[in-house]
């Protein structure tokens, strides 16, 4: 099988969140299974090129040029290439006065719709011009949603007409709602007709890029079975429920995998003390080290942690509540998070200032990969009180490190975390604590149950930790599910 991934992020070079880990992890696993995989990404000026070990000059010299029609004018892009984790990756660098990807930032620009329209146009042109004929093109989120639209309309008679498309929704909140200008930019006005293909379901004045991806792809996936069913409901579909229900026969949920090459306590180079199931006591050396590094008190208390983007999806007010609740109820708390949202950032900086003399907690407000590893290894619990969670990686990573998840019952959290006390699962599969309501009381109660178990039933707590460590959330099984979908649409392999 020959698969091309087209996405706006890929770890480790360009990572904002879980999307980057998925593109990297799935690509690597497909390649491990003997398939040919290539990845197409934007060439952001803020990419972390040092992580791929390529000298910047070699990387830049190894390039081809492509030209696309954009707003009726020729737009030239250079496509650089590099190998990341054994997969060939191509980076598209458009040359225009807009400096689309030279903004020192990945997203959040007023013209994001234009930036990623140019990316999609150039990616398809690159495949076409260089004679690449993949069996499947796999696109991710709204930023690459225009690719299936282009393939099924403008390119339907081109050499890429046999190529099938898979489109994955990583987060239904970000749909790429924009104006008709992107259709004009991509010269699609004449070919994309009819309200039902790309016009927003709720507001007909808008173009909805995600809807275009859904309509024109051969298969649609999202990142957990529970989230697939949630996104077809009025409560959680964010206006896309009608379209997703219409295409439910080509829509399915596949849980993301974790890349255990990067995330295994036995081999992790970013933690001071490696350990596994048989040497779990060494986890507590990491706890001690983390406390020292963070100037926290050494005390007989569990440490609750949060690692994640701080935005409304992640339940920021519940995180703040949990922190204060933990400190008042015999627990310590470590928070690692960052937020592009100014108000949320200020909210947490105030909290950090307020608690600056409290040696039972540590708040670190930035993105810090190394610290994330130490926290997964050093904490006893990880809290994830999300309003919604398409899949969630942090609970699965944490479990590998014997850190017990305390999560809200939603999306992929429901599919992966089974409450120690109340679950339909057998006791031997129970790996954490969960709660239903998006409320202070529900978070407090779940933390109370986890903390009581830690204090009063250490043997049970240890069993919960071990169950999480034993569970296999690697990419192997998930990649097989993607392969069987690719096979279904391409008729190959």
CA dihedral 352, 354, 355, 356 (to 10 degrees): 80
Our finding on whether 261 is near ligand ADP (CB under 6 A) is: no
Determine contact, residues 9/106, Cβ cutoff 8 Å. yes
x/- contact string, 308-327, with ligand ADP (CB under 6 A)?
Answer: xx------------------
Alpha-carbon gap, residue 446 to 439, rounded angstroms:
11
Our finding on whether 307 is near ligand ADP (CB under 6 A) is: yes
Alpha-carbon gap, residue 305 to 313, rounded angstroms:
17
Our finding on whether 340 is near ligand ADP (CB under 6 A) is: no
Our finding on whether 94 is near ligand ADP (CB under 6 A) is: no
Our finding on whether 338 is near ligand ADP (CB under 6 A) is: yes
Is 15 annotated as a binding-site member?
yes
Shortest Cβ 394–ligand ADP spacing (Å)? 4
Q: How far apart are the first and last CA of the chain?
A: 6
Shortest Cβ 399–ligand ADP spacing (Å)? 12
Nearest to ligand ADP by Cβ — which residue? 18
CB within 8 A of 339, min separation 6: which ones? 309, 310, 311, 316, 345, 348, 365
Alpha-carbon gap, residue 114 to 41, rounded angstroms:
15
Our finding on whether 337 is near ligand ADP (CB under 6 A) is: yes
> What are 489's two structure tokens?
């649409």
**Selected range binding ligand ADP among 128-136, 156-164, 273-281, 387-395, rule: CB under 6 A:** 387-395
The residue with tokens 């008729």 is 491
**Selected range binding ligand ADP among 146-154, 207-215, 302-310, 459-467, rule: CB under 6 A:** 302-310
Site size toward ligand ADP (CB under 6 A) is 17
Our finding on whether 289 is near ligand ADP (CB under 6 A) is: no
Q: How many CA atoms lie within 13 A of 273 on its CB side?
A: 16
CB burial readout 360-379, b (16+ within 10 A) else e: bbbbbbeeeeebbbbbbbbb
**Selected range binding ligand ADP among 14-22, 148-156, 399-407, 454-462, rule: CB under 6 A:** 14-22
Alpha-carbon gap, residue 76 to 28, rounded angstroms:
30
Shortest Cβ 312–ligand ADP spacing (Å)? 12
Q: What does R_g of the chain's alpha carbons equal in angstroms? A: 23
Determine contact, residues 335/362, Cβ cutoff 8 Å. yes
Shortest Cβ 438–ligand ADP spacing (Å)? 16
Nearest to 332, CA basis, from 378, 367, 372, 371: 378
Alpha-carbon gap, residue 289 to 285, rounded angstroms:
6
2/44 with CB nearer ligand ADP: 44
Our finding on whether 377 is near ligand ADP (CB under 6 A) is: no
Our finding on whether 17 is near ligand ADP (CB under 6 A) is: yes
Our finding on whether 394 is near ligand ADP (CB under 6 A) is: yes
Residue of 228, 393, 450, 465 that binds ligand ADP (CB under 6 A): 393
Our finding on whether 238 is near ligand ADP (CB under 6 A) is: no
Nearest to 479, CA basis, from 16, 18, 20, 25: 25
**Total number of residues shown for the chain:** 493
Residue of 13, 14, 18, 434 that binds ligand ADP (CB under 6 A): 18
**Selected range binding ligand ADP among 55-63, 102-110, 306-314, 317-325, rule: CB under 6 A:** 306-314
308/432 with CB nearer ligand ADP: 308
Continuous H helices in 209-360:
209-216, 225-230, 241-246, 283-293, 316-328, 342-354
Which residues here bind ligand ADP, judged by CB under 6 A? 17-18, 21, 307-309, 336-338, 367-369, 372, 391-394
Residues annotated within a binding site for ADP-alpha-D-glucose? 15
Residues annotated within a binding site? 15
């Amino acid at each position: 099988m020959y698969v091309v991934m087209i996405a706006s992020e890929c770890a480790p070079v360009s990572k904002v969140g879980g999307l980057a880990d998925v593109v990297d992890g799935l690509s690597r696993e497909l390649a491990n299974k003997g398939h040919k995989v290539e990845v197409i990404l934007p060439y952001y000026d803020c990419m972390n090129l040092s992580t791929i070990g390529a000298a910047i000059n070699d990387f830049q010299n190894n390039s081809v040029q492509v030209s696309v029609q954009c707003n009726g004018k020729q737009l030239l892009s250079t496509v650089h290439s590099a190998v990341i984790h054994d997969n060939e990756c191509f980076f598209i660098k458009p040359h225009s006065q807009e400096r689309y990807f030279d903004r020192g930032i990945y997203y959040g620009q007023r013209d994001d719709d234009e930036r990623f329209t140019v990316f999609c146009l150039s990616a398809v042109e690159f495949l076409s011009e260089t004679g690449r004929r993949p069996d499947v093109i796999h696109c991710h989120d709204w930023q690459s949603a225009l690719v299936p639209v282009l393939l099924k309309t403008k390119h339907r008679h081109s050499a890429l007409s046999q190529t099938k498309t898979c489109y994955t929704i990583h987060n239904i909140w970000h749909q790429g709602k924009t104006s008709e200008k992107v259709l004009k930019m991509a010269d699609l006005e004449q070919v994309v007709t009819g309200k039902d293909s790309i016009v927003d379901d709720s507001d007909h004045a808008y173009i909805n890029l995600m809807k275009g991806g859904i309509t024109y792809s051969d298969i649609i996936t999202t990142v957990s079975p529970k989230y697939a069913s949630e996104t077809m409901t009025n409560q959680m579909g964010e206006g896309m429920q009608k379209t997703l229900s219409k295409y439910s026969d080509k829509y399915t949920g596949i849980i993301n995998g974790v890349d255990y090459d990067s995330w295994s306590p036995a081999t992790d180079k970013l933690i001071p003390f490696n350990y596994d199931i048989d040497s779990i006591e060494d986890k507590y050396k990491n706890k001690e080290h983390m406390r020292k590094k963070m100037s926290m008190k050494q005390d007989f208390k569990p440490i609750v942690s949060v690692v994640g983007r701080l935005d409304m999806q992640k339940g920021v007010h519940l995180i703040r509540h949990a922190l204060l609740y933990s400190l008042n109820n015999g627990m310590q708390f470590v928070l690692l998070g960052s937020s592009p949202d100014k108000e949320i950032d200020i909210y947490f900086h105030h909290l950090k200032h307020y608690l600056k003399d409290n040696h039972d907690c540590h708040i670190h407000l930035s993105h810090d990969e190394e610290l994330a590893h130490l926290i997964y290894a050093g904490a006893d619990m990880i809290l994830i009180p999300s309003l919604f969670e398409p899949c969630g990686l942090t609970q699965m990573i944490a479990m590998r490190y014997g850190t017990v998840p305390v999560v809200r019952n939603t999306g992929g959290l429901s599919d992966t975390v089974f409450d120690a006390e109340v679950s339909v699962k057998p006791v031997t599969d129970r790996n954490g604590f969960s709660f239903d309501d998006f409320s202070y009381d529900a978070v407090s109660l779940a933390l109370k149950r986890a903390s009581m178990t830690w204090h009063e039933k250490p043997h049970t707590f240890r069993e919960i930790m071990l169950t999480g460590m034993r569970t296999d959330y690697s990419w192997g099984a998930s990649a097989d599910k993607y392969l069987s979908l690719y096979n279904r649409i391409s008729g190959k392999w």
